[in-house]
Structures are given as structure tokens and as C-alpha cells.
Amino acid sequence: MRLEKYLVQCGVASRKKIKTAIAQGRVTVNGDIEVNDATDVEWGEDIITFDGIIPEKKQLKYYIMYKIAGYITAMEDENKKTVAELLPEYIDKNSVFPVGRLDRDTEGVLLFTSDGDLSHAMAHPDRNMEKTYYVELDKEISQEDIIALEQGVILDTNYAALPGKVEYLNSKCIHLTITEGKYHQVKKMLKAVKNKVIYLKRVKFGNLTLDGMIPGEVKEIKREDIII
């Protein structure tokens, strides 16, 4: 198997960080530094080290969090509170990482895993992974605004957002489903129709929902619970 996949299955870091570490010469294969992440290796035959440590294949873990506002989606930061601080003590924070991100002031579904392959698959643009947000607005939303969101709007970065799906809840509340994950995308899409998001919560990520969860709660799930 590829060296990169071997280390992903060891759960040492995310796929992106593993690629960087290999390129930086922090990985050895049978005593020699290896900078090619596609090098073929085998379990039980080759001796691999990552930052001088021989990693072992770990049981892959999956957790769903009901993220609360005030925390950035990162495992560490010197100046800001991170979602890692919301993880219970029984979870090994060195082996899991969040899939995708939620803004600091955004609440809702956030998936953590040690499964790099799953993370890569769910984040890949070709997957068109749906994400549904509960959105509270500053002003009433019109039918024309809804049509615009469903046809695709131009963001303030001149990026043409893909069409979204809108479920009208009331004059100032909608469910907005998108398949992209651009920075502040939901806020920018509503800004494009001259409105402002005052509260945002992701209520669905793929098939994962907040059903039965309370704010701040974290629960372990199984791989088969996640449909991609």
C-alpha cells in the first residue's frame, strides 16, 4: 500500500499533514528517509517511523459533536478557544481531527475521526456532500431572494456559488443546503441577496444530524453510521 495510506491508517495525523511530513523528510522506511508518499510499503514487512516513532495501526474512531459558538475548528491555537477543548477526556486528541470546519460563531454538527480516507472522501468536491444550515436572518427573505439562492449567487469574492436548496421556515428563517464549503459561504450567499445572517447552525452533514443531542455533547458513532 502507499506510504501515505499506511500512515493514515496509523492515525498519526490528517492526510494533508502526513503528506507535508513525508515531504519534509520526517518519515523513514527501513531506516532511510522517504520523501515519496506513493512509495509501496507492507504491514509487518517494512519498518516505518514518523518523527522518530514507529506508529501502530489503530482502531479507527468516529465522533459527532454538537459544536457550540465561541470555538474555532482547530485542534490547537495559542490565542483562541478550539473545538479540541470540547472533546471529553476519554478521547485521544492526538489521534482525531475534525472533518471540514465550522466558523467560530457557528454551531452544529461537526465530525471528528482518525480515519484519513473518510475525511478526504467527505471533503472532496466531487462528492457533493450536502450540508444543511438553519439560518436566522436580519431581514425578511423574499421569494425572489430564494430563487436567486437556488439558482446560484455571485459572492463578494466574485466566486459563482453553486445553486443551493432552500426550505422556507418563516419570513426570517430558512434551511439552506449547499455542497460547497467556501470561507463564510452561507453568510456571503445571504449577503449577495442583501441580507445578513444573525444566527447559523449546521443541522445536517451528509446523513449525520443533531437528533437527540444537546449543545456541547459529543458521542461516538460507527463507520457504518456515515454514508458517503
Return the closest-CA partner of residue 100 out of 109, 90, 87, 88.
109
- Pairing mode, if any, of strands 197-205 and 107-113? parallel
The CB density around residue 83, as the number of other CB atoms within 10 Å, is 22
Q: CA dist 173 to 102, 138, 159, 185, 209, Å? A: 19, 9, 25, 17, 19
Residue 40 known to be catalytic: no
The CB density around residue 61, as the number of other CB atoms within 10 Å, is 18
Which candidate in 46, 51, 103, 117 is catalytic? 103
Alpha carbon distance 228, 163 (integer Å): 20
Q: Which residues are catalytic, by number?
A: 103
